[in-house]
Amino acid sequence: MKIICIGRNYADHAKELNDEVPEEPVVFMKPDSAILRKNNPFYIPSFAKEFHHEVELVVRINRIGKNIAPKFANRYFDEIGLGVDFTARDLQNELKAKGLPWEKCKAFDGSAVISDFVKKDSLGDVNNLDFHLNVNGEIRQKGNTSQMIFSIDDIVAYVSKFFTLKIGDLIYSGTPAGVAKVNMEERLEGYIGERKMFDFMVK
C-alpha cells in the first residue's frame, strides 16, 4: 500500500507557514514504514529539532482506480480515519530552501499516525466534518472539511491521474492551522466530531 499526502489544503495553514495557496494540489508520499497505529507512542527522532503535529482527515481507498472522474470519486473510498502527518519542520525548511525533496522530513518512521477507520456513512456529509486535535487536553488544531481548498473527491480524482489507486491506499487530506512542535510527555487526542479517534503519547 501507499500513503499519499496533500499539502497546503487549508488556506489558513498555508498562510501560517508563509506558503502560497496552491492552484493545484501539493502532493507527496510516505512509505508504509511510516505508519504508526494503535495509539502507540510517537518517539521523537534525533535527526531534527522541531517535529510538528499536523492533524488530518484520512480516506482509505477500497477499489482500484486510475483517471477517476471527480463525480465518481466517492465510490473509491468508504472508510475514514484521522491521522497525524508528523513533520520535521526545521529540516523541511532547509529542504524547501534548497529545492530538495521532502522525504526526510515527512516520510520517516512513525510520521504517519493513523486511527482505526470508520464507515464514512456513519459520519454524515464528508464535505462537512468537524475534526480537532487536543494536546494535553486543550484544543490545538481545529478544522472542518468544508474549509479544504480541494475537496476529498477532487483530491482522489487528481492523484489518480498520476498513481493507480489500490485497495488499502491512504490519502492524508491536509491540515488546518495551528501546527506546532511536539514535546516529550505530551498527550495527543484526535476527534472527528465528538468521536475520539486516537489518543497517544509523545516520548
For 125, residues 6+ apart whose C-beta sits below 8 A from its C-beta are none
Nearest-approach distance from CB 102 to Mg ion, in angstroms:
10
Q: Which lies closer to Mg ion via its Cβ, residue 85 or residue 169?
A: 85
C-alpha to C-alpha distance for 139 and 133, rounded to whole angstroms? 6
Secondary structure of residue 93 in the 3-state scheme: helix
Grid-cell match 507527496, residue found:
28
Nearest-approach distance from CB 29 to Mg ion, in angstroms:
12
For 122, list phi and psi in degrees, rounded to 5. -80, -10
Contact residues for Mg ion, defined by CB under 5 A = 54, 85, 175
Nearest-approach distance from CB 7 to Mg ion, in angstroms:
6
Q: Which lies closer to Mg ion via its Cβ, residue 73 or residue 105?
A: 105
Q: Which lies closer to Mg ion via its Cβ, residue 118 or residue 177?
A: 177
Give the chain's length.
203
Nearest-approach distance from CB 71 to Mg ion, in angstroms:
26
Q: Which lies closer to Mg ion via its Cβ, residue 21 or residue 121?
A: 21
Q: Which lies closer to Mg ion via its Cβ, residue 54 or residue 79?
A: 54
59 and 171 Cβ atoms separated by less than 8 Å? yes
Cα atoms in the Cβ-side hemisphere of radius 13 Å centred on 61:
28
Nearest-approach distance from CB 64 to Mg ion, in angstroms:
25
Burial class of 186 by CB neighbour count within 10 A (0 to 12, 13 to 18, 19+): middle
Q: How many CB atoms lie within 10 A of CB 52?
A: 20
Q: How many CB atoms lie within 10 A of CB 114?
A: 22
Q: Which residue is nearest to Mg ion (CB)?
A: 85
